[in-house]
Structure 1
Amino acid sequence: MSATSHQQHRRRRTYALVATAAGLATAGALAAALPATASPAPSGKGGHGHGHTSRYQDVQLLSFNDLHGNLEPPSGSSGRVTELQADGTTKTIDAGGVEYLATHLRQAREGNTYSVTAAGGDMVGASPLISGLFHDEPTVEALNKLKLDVTSVGNHEFDEGSKELARLQNGGCHPTDGCYSDKKFKGADFPYLAANVLSEKSGKPILKPYWVWKKKDVKIGFIGVTLEGTPGVVSADGVKGLKFKDEVETINKYAKELQRQGVKSIVALIHEGGFPASTSYNYDCDSGSAGSGVSGPIVDIAKNITPAVDALVTGHTHNAYACTIPDPSGKPRTVTSASSFGRLYTDTTLTYDRRTGDIARTSVKSANHVVTRDVAKAPDMTALISKWNTLAAPIGNRPIGYISADIVKDGTESPLGDLIADAQLAYGKELDPETDLALMNPGGIRAPLTYAAQGAEGDGVVTYAEGFTVQPFSNTVNLQDLTGAQLVQVLKEQVSGTNAASPKILQISAGLTYTLDLTKSGADRVVTDSIKLNGAAIDPAATYRVAMNNFLAGGGDGFTTLGQGTNPLVGTDDLTVLQKYLTANSTPTNPIAPPAADRITVVQ
């Protein structure tokens, strides 16, 4: 990693977890809630530019990110967005589902001859059963039907390694599962861009670094990168043989190359993001005296990317924003993200100047729009979902447990996180009765368990498909020994080191308790003398047997100390563990109730 890269990473770690709410607009200003991130098109020139005689031509850029194979409408909080109202209150809206996303995108394109659709990575990976069971071929088929033009790779594109990513791009049957029908999988019609992902052997990008969209005399270049820190959030097997380079250096390099080719209008697709000051998708994050209402890694990246890049489409943090962040010359530049799971799409107007071949930055405007479910379903997507559901049904519809109410995954400590940790502790004790506790990474919990499911099964029934949606990674549940001192260090790593700016709070099994004091900073936020196991203080010199998935056991998510455990024992996959626990501890007449989520005491 270069010195510049190290400096950028140090700067990124200084950002707070969430931007402060200071500078929020007044209720009166909120009446125009959708953000307009810049001024109107150049006066007297005609923003729409009909025909070749007009200097300015509006280009519609539709974008989304972090779909994660959510073809069917996501359930629970994963299928809702928050909307800011004119009086300052908020309301939630059910959103998402590729049948509705297709309709919304097709309606948005109507009347726009110059329209391009791009994505910011994580189209696949951590997907529900309908896609994940088939190695995300269904999602690639859906994206082809959506007329996606281009996407960057995200970290989840590497869940099954670079060879599988190449198959999704180029087509062909799965090397072990074979073909799922008599038709050979043809791969993506759109290019995956991986400018900063290099082969260790060749030193060259494993896929195209950029792509140029052309419509008559208008051309716009797209550069695609994923976060440099991808190896820290993907299993070691997934990134084997790959190098991930700095986002800024890579984008600046290829922007120069595009300019040398005469492409002066450039959009960067970056699978890295930020944290807006408001969770409402339509919050005007450029309002108020505080300036841009977004914090996090994307701010540092945006401020250092060459001014030759005209707009940034981002992702990874699953947040919604349409902001401006100044480029190195101090000029405002649009930065967008459309939440996740297909709940939103972004509509950005790029005004192309035919005289210069560049984007008239002063006339760029952008807003996020909800993928509401009150529009007609796209018939071709309904047929696609039906086809793959038919194949998945024998496996997916099988009941594996029963719940008495929604078990959500939201919060510092979540009821679902507790449930999964308890399941892994129970399984750990099967492998080794001396197992003391279990730890679960929050990012590995992909969806809630909902009581009133959308499928055909009765209320409270948990099917295999629902369990798969919660834990789709096929991680193994492993055991290893940690000293008490190491265990304390692991808990401190939740809020320090690479996790200082964006804490990753491990979900913990019953018996482990401690206090998290958010009024403090860094590792001090974990109150050491509060850490107890079954009421007893942790003994720094003692040895504790800990259950966790193989991702954590490899030091993933910044938990380097977990990578130093000893006496390892590899178990079965985590979904099987969850299934065993639900089956053993619930019946139709005695379902599992949501855990209390009272193991971590949070001081704010």
Structure 2
Amino acid sequence: MSAAIPQRRRAARRLTATAAVLAAAAGLLTAALPAGAESESTARGSDRDATGRTVDVQLLSFNDLHGNLEPPQGSSGNVTQTLPDGTTKAIPAGGVEYLATSLRKARKGHRHSVTAAGGDMIGASPMLSGLFHDEPSIEAMNKLGLDVSAVGNHEFDEGAEELARMQNGGCHPKDGCYEEGKRFPGADFPYLAANVTSEKTGKPVLKPYTVWKHKGVQIGFIGVTLEGTPDIVTAEGVKGLKFHDEVETINKYTRELNRKGVKSVVALIHEGGLPASGSYNYDCNSPGPGDGISGSIVEIAKNVSPQVDALVTGHTHQAYACTIPDPAGVPRTVTSAASFGRLYTDTTLTYDRRTRDIVRTSVESANHVVDREQPRAKDMTALIKRWNKLAAPVANRPVGYISADIPGRGFNAYETPLGNVISDAQVEALAPADKGGAQLAFMNPGGVRSDLAHKASGGEGDGVVTYGEAFTVQPFTNMTNVLDLTGEQVLTVLRQQVSGVNEKQPRILHVSKGLSYTLDLTKAGADRIAADSVRLNGEPIDPKKTYRVAVNEFLAGGGDGFPVLKEGKNKLVGPSDLDVFTAYLGAHSKPDAPLAPPKTDRITIVK
């Protein structure tokens, strides 16, 4: 591929609208607003005098959409709100039809509004988008009015050349065009990847930054993904690429922007934090700025140049609108809008026309729920209907039956029922001698992308699992592998869940039936795994014995911080994880005998 991907010229869209058109649109939107929405928008967003020294710029942002055009299934489709009395409630949220409505309402009354994203707009997508290599999601983002996005690690799932196609357009090199007479146009917005360079040329593979200009205001946006992307994407996806330090890269291009006269800078960073509460309205500045948040973004925020005015982040799928002190000790806004289009962040940046910089003391930010009680955006409904019609012959085929919800995407769970189903499916499929002779299986939690809902959001067939729903759970279609590991290496796999790169943010693998152990959270690092507690079918793991272990190809390559798996010998490649999953559902369920959620009793937690 070329060293740098040329950017397509953006359509003028909102920016060229006349005052009369804006006024007419405002009148139409007012009629659609629920009670109270207009006054809130006007209070937060009314610009200062258009001829005055300062002007308010509205920054709308979201992250980690992952191609979720339709409302996400199960618990992935809710956000948690803390009520005044301290109790919490779950609010159904998400779906691009509602996200479009929310953003369009939010823009009402703002002379200066820019919409940005923190990466992972595509990749690990449900079937509606994933079946078509995420062309539907890019089309939706164009209609949504997205102005700029950072790349995330999942933008590299299909490699740099496919990412170039997402930007520039063109039909898929193998599958061709999906609709007769229609060529995929590519993204209207620039994808930014300042810290991703070609190994051959040393140059960025995408634009490192862009400058948004509107009526005398200019703001530079720098986009980076996490430096550790190669650890969480297949080797093929990052082939020929280098990923550089986030802070060094952002500071480098901030200096370049400043030299060009751009003094207002926003960093879009696909790396995130972990707030102390899972509620979207949690105050992570209590008792002080940034005290309620931990994780990789904290150190990044503390070291990114003070000349950067705000950080839009992602990756951890968490919700926060914090202030974290910059290197000069001045609080700076750091935000994330959870994932799957369930929230959006509304940030007010006060721009000083004389200094061309943001008045940092005036920055305000808050997350808002994309609830499903509001009207759906008609253009998004039409888009979804059109792509669903193309997907229907494949997506609607029943592959199994379940008796209740089988959760699989709980962020705070060390073991989930659906993770257990998937690991059981892999060991069963690969247990026959001619299939690999697997005795146990490990499944990475990040590869389980959704719950299996007993009743889908569309309301069809209670308990019926369609191929499309199974695809949403296992969208990567990684090939399964069986390999030899010694008992000592099996123990090392379990220890690497909580040590090395995973020590601060453990990655607890799903394990197949028959494997059990104790996770002692009162200890630190590898000591959290009690070696004498690890058993297979009731027998202690023998460090000197050889075991046949099933994993997907991502884990087999050392992904997610499990390098010991690269040492496996006598590797046999099996069918895709999706084929294994659907075959298991078909073999273990019938309409009159649905599959029940398995117990989560394989890992004993000590706190």
The normalised TM-score by structure 2 is 0.91
Distance 2:313 2:436 in 1: 46
SS for the counterpart of 2:248 is: helix
Distance 1:324 1:291 in 2: 5
Query: Aligned-pair distance for 1:75?
Result: 1.2
Partner of 1:402: 401
Q: Does the CA contact (< 8 Å) of 1:67 and 1:122 recur in 2?
A: yes
Q: Does the CA contact (< 8 Å) of 1:47 and 1:351 recur in 2?
A: no
Query: Aligned-pair distance for 1:88?
Result: 1.4
Give identity over the alignment, percent. Answer: 69
Partner of 1:94: 92
SS for the counterpart of 1:418 is: helix
Distance 2:188 2:398 in 1: 37
Q: Does 1:158 align with 2:160?
A: no
Q: Does 1:320 align with 2:319?
A: yes
Q: Does 1:575 align with 2:574?
A: no
Q: Does the CA contact (< 8 Å) of 1:440 and 1:507 recur in 2?
A: yes
Q: Does 1:562 align with 2:560?
A: no
Distance 2:291 2:475 in 1: 36
Q: Deviations over 1:362-412 (max 9, x none)?
A: 000000000000110000000000000000000000000000000001210
Query: Aligned-pair distance for 1:50?
Result: 2.4
Distance 1:455 1:475 in 2: 28
Unaligned runs of 5+ in 1: 1-39
Give the counterpart letter for 1:450 in structure 2.
Answer: A
Query: Aligned-pair distance for 1:289?
Result: 5.1
Partner of 2:172: 174
Q: Does 1:118 align with 2:107?
A: no
Q: Does the CA contact (< 8 Å) of 2:222 and 2:253 recur in 1?
A: yes
Query: Aligned-pair distance for 1:86?
Result: 1.1
Across the aligned residues of Structure 1 and Structure 2, the Cα RMSD in angstroms comes to: 1.3
Q: Deviations over 1:244-290 (max 9, x none)?
A: 00000000000000000000000000000000011110111112258
Partner of 2:219: 220
Aligned CA distance change for structure 1 residues 283 and 456 (closer, same or farther; 3 Å): closer
Q: Does 1:439 align with 2:437?
A: no
Aligned CA distance change for structure 1 residues 87 and 380 (closer, same or farther; 3 Å): same
Matches within 5 A, 1:123-138: 123-138=121-136
Residue of structure 1 aligned with 2:453, choices 424, 440, 450: 450
Partner of 2:490: 487
SS for the counterpart of 1:349 is: strand
Distance 1:465 1:104 in 2: 27
Give the counterpart letter for 1:349 in structure 2.
Answer: T
Distance 1:367 1:215 in 2: 23
Partner of 2:478: 475
Partner of 2:344: 345
Residue of structure 1 aligned with 2:81, choices 83, 91, 108: 83
Give the counterpart letter for 1:281 in structure 2.
Answer: Y
Q: Deviations over 1:292-325 (max 9, x none)?
A: 3110000000000000100000000000000000
SS for the counterpart of 2:391 is: helix
Distance 1:106 1:56 in 2: 24
Give the counterpart letter for 1:477 in structure 2.
Answer: T
Residue of structure 2 aligned with 1:500, choices 486, 503, 513: 503
Q: Does 1:103 align with 2:101?
A: yes
Partner of 1:460: 463
Distance 1:290 1:172 in 2: 46
Distance 2:135 2:89 in 1: 35
Partner of 1:516: 519
Distance 1:390 1:432 in 2: 37
Q: Does 1:426 align with 2:428?
A: yes
Q: Deviations over 1:30-85 (max 9, x none)?
A: xxxxxxxxxx99xxxx983222x201100000000000000000011100000111
Distance 2:540 2:431 in 1: 21
Aligned CA distance change for structure 1 residues 114 and 462 (closer, same or farther; 3 Å): same
Distance 1:458 1:265 in 2: 52
Give the counterpart letter for 1:461 in structure 2.
Answer: V
Give the counterpart letter for 1:429 in structure 2.
Answer: A
SS for the counterpart of 2:420 is: helix
Distance 2:362 2:46 in 1: 8
Q: Deviations over 1:203-245 (max 9, x none)?
A: 0000000000001110000000000000000000000000000
Q: Does the CA contact (< 8 Å) of 2:290 and 2:322 recur in 1?
A: no
Q: Does 1:603 align with 2:606?
A: yes
Matched pairs, number: 560
Distance 2:200 2:156 in 1: 18
Give the counterpart letter for 2:143 in structure 1.
Answer: K
Q: Does the CA contact (< 8 Å) of 1:531 and 1:538 recur in 2?
A: yes
Matches within 5 A, 1:33-48: 48=47
Give the counterpart letter for 1:113 in structure 2.
Answer: R
Partner of 1:362: 361
SS for the counterpart of 1:513 is: strand
Partner of 2:265: 266
Distance 2:500 2:576 in 1: 29
Give the counterpart letter for 2:70 in structure 1.
Answer: E
Q: Does the CA contact (< 8 Å) of 1:292 and 1:324 recur in 2?
A: no
Distance 1:238 1:432 in 2: 27
Partner of 2:64: 66
Give the counterpart letter for 1:178 in structure 2.
Answer: G
SS for the counterpart of 1:478 is: strand
Matches within 5 A, 1:285-304: 285-288=284-287, 291-304=290-303
Distance 2:392 2:275 in 1: 39
Query: Aligned-pair distance for 1:455?
Result: 3.8
Q: Which deviates more, 409-418 or 252-261?
A: 409-418
SS for the counterpart of 2:305 is: coil
Distance 2:276 2:165 in 1: 39
Partner of 1:193: 192
Distance 2:416 2:86 in 1: 28
Query: Aligned-pair distance for 1:458?
Result: 1.2
Q: Deviations over 1:508-551 (max 9, x none)?
A: 00000000011111111111100000000010100000011000
Q: Which deviates more, 405-414 or 244-253?
A: 405-414
Q: Does 1:204 align with 2:203?
A: yes
Give the counterpart letter for 2:66 in structure 1.
Answer: H
Distance 2:533 2:334 in 1: 42
Distance 2:478 2:114 in 1: 37
Distance 1:255 1:381 in 2: 36
Q: Does the CA contact (< 8 Å) of 2:58 and 2:346 recur in 1?
A: yes
Distance 2:218 2:192 in 1: 17
Aligned CA distance change for structure 1 residues 405 and 47 (closer, same or farther; 3 Å): closer
SS for the counterpart of 1:105 is: helix
Partner of 2:230: 231
Distance 1:47 1:433 in 2: 65
Partner of 1:388: 387
SS for the counterpart of 2:55 is: strand
Partner of 1:375: 374
Give the counterpart letter for 2:99 in structure 1.
Answer: L
Give the counterpart letter for 1:97 in structure 2.
Answer: G
Unaligned runs of 5+ in 2: 1-42
Bigger RCO (CA 8 Å, 6+ sep):
1
